[in-house]
Structure 1
Amino acid sequence: MRMKLSSMIAGTALALTLTASASAQTLLTGADTNEILNAARGYGAATLTTQSNGDPQITGKIEGITYQVYFRNCTNNEDCEDLNFYLGFLDIKPTLEEINDWNYNKRFSRAYIDQDDDACVEMDLDMVEGVTAEYLDSQFSLWAMVLKQFAEHVGYN
């Protein structure tokens, strides 16, 4: 009986330690622009600039394709609640059927034709509660895949 109790206490202590270390992990928010920029740089060249309203923006390049990450829902041009990954191809004018095919067959992003009939694709990341550096990296990895597949889908060479 004493052995079982001792094993139970040890198991509970281990579970509490693992839970504490997981919750002690640093979470990144939309205020962590330098860490987000560094994540983008893991996939290619990237610079931090500002949007016309003063909110942060990253302009990056993955395999020769330029994209933007817009920081959205910011307070005083910082403490942003979410990120909007954006790619727009000038002068690539897909059909509505091609865009619908993308949206029907792909997950995690949305494609559309903008006001100039150009091909666009976006993906959002909610940062309100924070994300781990690993999760942020996985989102940039997903974005890199979306970017390459969309470029191929609309005929960008």
Structure 2
Amino acid sequence: MKLNTLFVAGAVSLALTLSAQAQTVITGADTDEILNAARGYGAANLTTQSNGDPQITGKIEGITYQIYFRNCTDGKDCEDLNFYLGFLDIKPTLEVINDWNFNKRFSRAYIDGDKDACVEMDLDLVKGVSAEYLDSQFGLWAMVVGQFAEHVGYK
């Protein structure tokens, strides 16, 4: 009886280990996978920032946003993503921005140097994330884009 219990426990442990190993981990080096995740929410293209690091420019519901790959080594192996949306010529009051920051989670809004409305969200990729988690973060970003656009009067 003990041998059967030991065998079953070992088999379950091995199955869980193999399942965890089979899950693909996406890091900041996986630009194609990140681009494909972005394309699941609208048009998106991979370009390069002036410093050589990758950048994605995409559209969600017709609204253009950028994803900046940050803390990169030689233009690759980036540690995190910075989702960014800025509305040129939409100049909300500080009260409107403070209301967003007080009532919303997972993103931060601000007024830039030209007094335009901006919102950002970060994703840490140092240890990698699953494809499902990456997709959930893009879903969250899509929600932020739509709600922020409405909040500052773009829509």
Q: CA–CA distance in 2 between the matches of 1:12 and 1:145?
A: 43
Partner residue, 1:88: 86
Please point out which of 19, 23, 29 is paired with 1:21. Answer: 19
What is the TM-score of this pair, normalised by structure 2?
0.95
Is 2:115 the partner of 1:79? no
Partner residue, 1:45: 43
Is 2:114 the partner of 1:116? yes
Is 2:151 the partner of 1:153? yes
What is the TM-score of this pair, normalised by structure 1?
0.94
* Residues 28-51 of structure 1, C-alpha deviations (whole Å, 9 max, x = no match): 111111110000000000000011
Residue 72 of structure 2 aligns to a residue in which SS?
coil
Partner residue, 1:32: 30
Gaps of 5+ in 2: none
Q: CA–CA distance in 2 between the matches of 1:54 and 1:101?
A: 36
Q: CA–CA distance in 1 between the matches of 2:100 and 2:6?
A: 52
Tell me how far 1:23 sits from its aligned partner: 3.3
Two-structure CA RMSD over aligned residues (Å): 1.2
Residue 67 of structure 2 aligns to a residue in which SS?
strand
Identity of matched residues, %:
79
AA matched with 1:23: Q
Tell me how far 1:22 sits from its aligned partner: 1.3
* Residues 123-156 of structure 1, C-alpha deviations (whole Å, 9 max, x = no match): 0000111111111111100000000000010010
Gaps of 5+ in 1: none
Tell me how far 1:15 sits from its aligned partner: 3.3
Tell me how far 1:14 sits from its aligned partner: 1.1
What stretches of structure 1 move > 4 A for 4+ residues in a row?
Answer: none
